[in-house]
Amino acid sequence: MKPSAQGSARLGTPEVRPGEVRVPARQQAADLGRDREHEAPPSGAARGEHTHCEQPIPHPRPAVQRSSVRGQILDALRTALVTGELRPGEVYSAPALGERFGVSATPVREAMQQLALEGAVEVVLNRGFRVIERDARELAELAEVRGLIEVPVMLRLARAVPADRWAELLPLAEATVRAASTGCRATYAESDRAFHRAMLALAGNEQLVRIADDLHRRAQWPLVGDPVRQRRAELVADAAEHMALLEALTARDLDVVRSLVREHFAGAP
């Protein structure tokens, strides 16, 4: 996919700007990358990228726990994708991001390779990883696929699941309302997916939950040219649909369930 003008890397210009990606401060740990240095580096296009043109990022290094460096970096990058801090079309190198996080390039590169498998970024030979540019058509396609998979499941569950089981999901629905009120897309994205996972888990099909969650995550990435697509009011409206859906499921109102699920996917954050 053709990169935007902002995303092209120029000699002497940092590919990552200060403050674009943040990791919460945790227990101090130093030289976290050393414990991964014995591993063989990735080969081919995904291996690495030259860094002679990148300037050090003058920020204190936030510490990350040794036990799950790659996992924490992956979570931070996913959050940055949802909020638009990793901008569609731009190229980011693992060494520069590693400097920002206070870790070696290795766990960052591994996390980016996972995001490449998920379709969020693509490898750019000898430069790093470009954030995929997505448009409204792709979002509509995701909504269609989610509807094809989940609407029949939700209708089946509406017929079979007793009201008290739906009541157990009320705290999760209320959590999405609270998250929406903050206006933070990343906070809402996590609570939104947790609610949908819990609903689908009632079907007892782990593969269904995994596939649906992957589609849901993709639908939460911002569109090119509109990195902050959803405002607080839209998040609040989306969360309100969770409450309405639980009411319809409890009442076994299949027509309302069908309509709410389809409309919810079409406007999903």
Band of residue 44 on the pLDDT scale cut at 50, 70, 90:
very low
Start-to-end CA distance of the chain, whole Å, equals 23
Token pair belonging to 16: 């990552």
In the predicted structure, residue 8 carries a pLDDT above the cut 90? no
pLDDT attached to residue 169: 97
Give the whole-angstrom CA distance, residue 157 versus residue 165: 11
Using alpha carbons only, what angle is made at residue 71 by residues 6 and 62, rounded to the nearest 5 degrees? 70
Query: Whole-angstrom Cα distance, residue 145 to residue 37?
Result: 41
pLDDT of the residue at 267: 61
**Domain 32-131 adopts which CATH fold?**
Arc Repressor Mutant, subunit A (1.10.10)
- More confident site: 32 or 261: 261
The top-scoring range by mean pLDDT among 53-57, 124-128, 191-195 is: 191-195
Residues of the chain with CATH 1.10.10.10: 32-131
Under CATH, domain 136-266 is a member of which superfamily?
A: GntR ligand-binding domain-like (1.20.120.530)
Look at residue 75 and tell me whether its pLDDT is greater than 50.
Answer: yes
Given this model, what pLDDT does residue 265 score?
79
Q: In 22-54, which positions are buried (b, 16+ CB within 10 angstroms) versus exposed (e)? A: ebeeeeeeeebbeebeeeeeeeeebebbebeeb
* Arithmetic mean of pLDDT, 74-98: 92
Q: Which residues of 88-122 are buried (b: 16+ CB within 10 A; e: fewer)?
A: bbbbbbbbbbbbbbbbbbbbbbbbbbbbbebebbb
* Residue of 84, 110, 91 whose CA lies nearest to 20: 84
Residue 165 has pLDDT above 80, yes or no: yes
- Tell me the average pLDDT across 121-146: 92
Report d(CA 153, CA 254) in Å as an integer.
12
Mean pLDDT of 56-68: 49
Reported as a pLDDT band with limits 50, 70 and 90, residue 5 is: very low
Instruction: Please determine, for residue 140, whether its predicted confidence score (pLDDT) is greater than 80.
Output: yes
Mean pLDDT score, 215-219: 92
Beta carbons of 103 and 33 less than 8 angstroms apart: yes
Residue 201 confidence (pLDDT) above 70: yes
pLDDT digits (tens, 9 = 90+) for 240-265: 999 999 999 999 999 999 999 888 87
pLDDT for 180 beyond 60: yes
Query: How is residue 134 written in tokens?
Result: 């997505």
Here the tokens at position 241 are 């649909």
Domain with CATH 1.20.120.530 in the chain: 136-266
Single pTM value for the model: 0.70
User: In the predicted model, what is the mean pLDDT of residues 158-184?
Assistant: 95
- The pLDDT assigned to 41 comes to 47
